[in-house]
Amino acid sequence: MSRSRFTIRVEGLRELQQAMRRLRDSELDRRVKDVNKDVAKLVAAEAKSLRAVPTKSGKLRRSIGALASRSDASVKAGSAARVPYAGPLHWGWRRRNIRPRPFLRWAAGRKYDEAHETYTEGMAEVMRDRLES
């Protein structure tokens, strides 16, 4: 199985993260994490709505969730214990004739513009609030 990652690059993000670490402002960290979570939730909701997600038992669809930190936003599906077939269904498994259905990548692609706008506006608001205080 090949591993790839749908990534959105943000210019100046590394410098912003370094500045935030120097500030040691936990409130600012929480607000940036919230912006990242909002973006991840957009993609997760879209992934849950796609027909490409098998719904035999509904476990895979229910396992799709948004994760976020101060520096990252991601969407996950499945778990090794409860939904171990998520990876093979998403990436495919040639030896078992399972064709890939990359529903997380499709969802990210479909929500790209909205995610970009949400991130840009959210970060601008965080920075405006920080500068005003």
Sequential pLDDT tens for the chain (133 residues): 444 556 666 677 677 667 667 667 778 889 999 999 999 999 999 999 998 898 889 999 999 999 999 888 999 999 999 999 999 999 999 999 999 999 999 999 999 999 999 999 999 998 888 777 6
49: containing domain = 21-132
Phi, psi of 76 (to 5 degrees): -120, 160
Residue 62 domain flag: yes
Asked whether residue 93 is assigned to any structural domain, the reply reads yes
In a domain, 10, yes or no: no
Q: What is the pLDDT of residue 5?
A: 57
Q: Is residue 5 part of a domain?
A: no
Does residue 87 sit within a domain? yes
Residue 71's pLDDT is 83
Confirm whether 13 is domain-assigned.
no
Measure the CA–CA gap between 17 and 49, rounded to whole angstroms.
33
Q: What is the pLDDT of residue 92?
A: 94
Domain count across the chain: 1
